[in-house]
Amino acid sequence: MAALPSIRGIREMQAWSDHARREGKRIVLVPTMGFLHEGHLSLVREAGKHGDCRVVSIFANPAQFAPSEDFDSYPRDLERDVRLLTEERVDLLFNPAAEDIYPAGYQTYVDVEEVSRPLCGAHRPGHFRGVATVVLKLFNIVRPHVALFGLKDYQQVRVIRRMTEDLNVDVDIIECPTVREPDGVAMSSRNRYLGPAEREAARCLQSALGKAEALVRGGETAARRIREVVVDEISRQPLARLEYADLCDPRELHPVEEVDGPTLLALCAWVGNARLIDNRILGDDEP
Ligand code: PAF
C-alpha cells in the first residue's frame, strides 16, 4: 500500500492546497485531534463524497483545554492513526507542531459569543474559543472547500457554523451523524479512559436519551418533566455524575420550556475520569 503523504509545515500545506486548487481540485478537510476511531473514519469516508482531495488534520489543540483538563493525558497514537488513514487512502495528513500553530507571541483568538455560552461552554470556559480559533486557523492553512464535523459534538458544530457565517469563511460545513458502539455508547477518544465497569455505566447516557425520546413520543412536552426523567436515569448509575442535561433550541441553543418542535437534549456526565457528552433531537417527526 502506498505510504500516506503528510505535511507538517504551514507554508508547505498552503502551497499544496494552492496547487490542488489551481488544478481545479475540491479539497475536503476532516479536522481531528488524533487517536482515531470509527467516528472519525466515518467522516473520512463521507469526505470522499464531497470533493477530490481528502485532507485529515491531526492536532491536539492546547487552546481548547483548560489547565486543569486532560491535555497531557489526552490519548495519542500517531503510528496507529497513520496506519488507519493509509488504509482509508486519504490524500494527505496535515500534522502541524504546536509551536507552529501557536508561536511565541501568539495573541489572536476567535470568540463566538452566545452560542459558546451554554452547555459545555458553561462548564469549560474558553473551550469553544480554543476550538473556533484552531478551526479558523486550519481553514486558513488547509484552505478547504468543505469541512466535516460529527454531531456528537453538537455545540461545537453550532459554534463553527456561526463562526463561518459571521466571518464570511468560504468553507461548506457538513454535519455527520454520531457513530455509536453496538450497545449505543457514542464513540469518543475519551472512552479509552473507561474501565470495564465504567464502560458498562456509560450506557446510561444513551438510555437517558432513549427515555426522554419515549416520553416525548408519548406526548410529554414539558422540558422540566423530561429533564427530571433524564436526571433520574443518570442518577441510578452510581459510577456516573451528571454535569448537565439541558433542552434547548437546536440552532441558537437557547433553553426551552416546551418541546413544541425539534428540540436539542444535550447531556454531559462524568464516568470515572471520562467526561462524556451525547445528545438527541427530540420532537422531530422525521425518522
Ligand atoms: O472535535 C475535535 O476533535 C476538535 O475539537 C477539533 C474540531 C479537531 C478542533 O481541535
> What pLDDT does 100 receive?
98
Whether 237 has a pLDDT exceeding 60, the answer reads: yes
Q: For this structure, is 40 an active site residue?
A: yes
Q: Is 39 in the pocket of ligand 1 (CB under 6 A)?
A: no
Give the C-alpha separation, 261 to 249, whole Å.
9
Which amino acid, one-letter code, is at 281? I
Ligand 1 centroid, distance to 222 Cα (angstroms): 33
Ordered domains of the chain (ranges, CATH): 6-176 (3.40.50.620), 189-282 (3.30.1300.10)
pLDDT by residue (tens digit) across 38-56?
999 999 999 999 999 999 9
> What pLDDT does 287 receive?
45
High-pLDDT (> 70) share of the chain, %: 99
Q: Is 188 in the pocket of ligand 1 (CB under 6 A)?
A: no
> What pLDDT does 1 receive?
86
Which residue carries 492536532 as its cell?
59
Ligand 1 centroid, distance to 47 Cα (angstroms): 16
- DSSP per-residue string spanning the chain: -PPPPEE--HHHHHHHHHHHHHTTPPEEEEEE-SS--HHHHHHHHHHTTS-SEEEEEE---GGGS-TTSSTTTS---HHHHHHHHHHTT-SEEE---HHHHS-TT-------TTTTSSTHHHHSTTHHHHHHHHHHHHHHHH--SEEEEEGGGHHHHHHHHHHHHHTT---EEEEEPPPB-TTSPBP-GGGGG--HHHHHHTHHHHHHHHHHHHHHHTT--BHHHHHHHHHHHHHTSTTEEEEEEEEE-TTT--B-SB-SS-EEEEEEEEETTEEEEEEEEES----
> What pLDDT does 198 receive?
98
